[in-house]
Amino acid sequence: MKPTKQLHDLGQSLWLDYITRGILDDGTLEGYIRDLDVTGLTSNPTIFDKAVNGSDDYDDQIAELREQGLEPEPLFFELAISDLRRAADLFRDVHERTDTVDGFVSLEVSPKLAYDTESTIRQAAELHARGERGNIFIKIPGTPQGLPAIEESIYAGVPINVTLLFDSEDHLAAADAYMKGIERRIADGLNPDVRSVASIFMSRWDVAVADEVPLELKNRLGIAVGKKAYANYVEMLASPRMQKLENQGARPQRLLWASTGTKDPEASDTLYIEAFAAPDTVNTMPEDTLLAFADHGEVGDPLLPNGGDADEVLAEFEKAGIDVAALAERLQKEGADAFGKSWEDMISSISSEAERLAGKS
């Protein structure tokens, strides 16, 4: 049995953190769904920037949209929504078979809005409506300004993928925002079944401290942070608050492991897939990580519900001079800034491509 099938049978959803029009056109994504148990997909500005710049697959649509007078940012959203609708249709069977638990694709609001609550709320609602598919998540960053936007969007019935979370505190804040939105829906007599995932970023932890810790602690911080988050997730699922919501028809916000591609060339290329095997969670992985895991990954024991040695390992990092809480805050800001830079690069690339195509006509 393939490792991807074993992980799926354990109860974890395998999502692809990658999209191009090419993998939609040539059947690659369909093959991953059929052969590698992929049940969802995520995207971000960096992924779309590479997709648009890496081929001429988008040229015709870019030229057409430019002729219609669209500026680069709305033009990008048209490109992205076109791709994600197609991907969502490929996952429709999964979505229906799992009673809407799985089979989602994700589209991110503009990273420029990471610190703008009201604009995030408006754009999330607009993108959800334009997506025209029930299995499209809108990604909102879990920044302090993003949290009220998450609550408001959930209340409005918009399925949300909370992104840019880095530790347990971030995750629990996102879960609280989700539950507040659901509680408001229940109070107003609305359907409480609005889906959400909370994406906690893993590999960036180890990159951040690679040159600051002794060898024995290398590539261990992300896993320890993840174990701690998982323990708190399990506790949250069993809490009276969540149980009450489930009794009223709500469903839990699922924990999603993101940034699970290994950055250290000396470490296992399946490190963060094998480390975070756990039921009732999602692991979204880059294409090369998915293929590596399918080829030689191993599924061992699932994560311990109590977090195992997480507290001990985190204490070792604190002793080595790493302020884990402060680092989480820094990583979230750096992540928001990096996505903002990718966004600007992508919009600039689309603008240049549109001008180039106009010159050829």
- On whether residue 147 sits in a domain, the answer given is yes
Q: Report the CATH number that the domain containing residue 331 is assigned in CATH.
A: 3.20.20.70
- On whether residue 134 sits in a domain, the answer given is yes
- On whether residue 44 sits in a domain, the answer given is yes
Q: Which domain holds residue 136?
A: 3-356
Token reading at 97: 């078979």
- Of 2, 5, 139, 218, the catalytic one is 139
- On whether residue 349 sits in a domain, the answer given is yes
- On whether residue 361 sits in a domain, the answer given is no
pLDDT in tens, the chain (361 residues): 899 999 999 999 999 999 999 999 999 999 999 999 999 999 988 888 888 888 889 999 999 998 899 999 999 999 999 999 999 999 999 999 999 999 999 999 999 999 999 999 999 999 999 999 999 999 999 999 999 999 999 999 999 999 999 999 999 999 999 999 999 999 999 999 999 999 999 999 999 999 999 999 999 999 999 999 999 999 999 999 999 999 999 999 999 999 999 999 999 999 999 999 999 999 999 999 999 999 999 999 999 999 999 999 999 999 999 999 999 999 999 999 999 998 998 899 888 888 888 776 5
The residues, any chain, with a CB within 8 Å of residue 231's CB and separated by 6 or more, are 304, 305, 306, 307, 310
Of residues 299, 295, 296, 205, the one with CA closest to residue 258: 205
Question: Residue 60 burial (CB < 10 Å; 0-12/13-18/19+)?
Answer: exposed
Question: Residue 223 burial (CB < 10 Å; 0-12/13-18/19+)?
Answer: buried
The domain tally of the chain equals 1
- On whether residue 128 sits in a domain, the answer given is yes
Active site residue 139: yes
- On whether residue 105 sits in a domain, the answer given is yes
CB 136 within 8 A of CB 106: yes
Residue for token digits 């590596």?
292
The CA angle 106-109-110, to the nearest 5 degrees, is 135
**CA–CA separation, 199 and 187 (whole Å):** 27
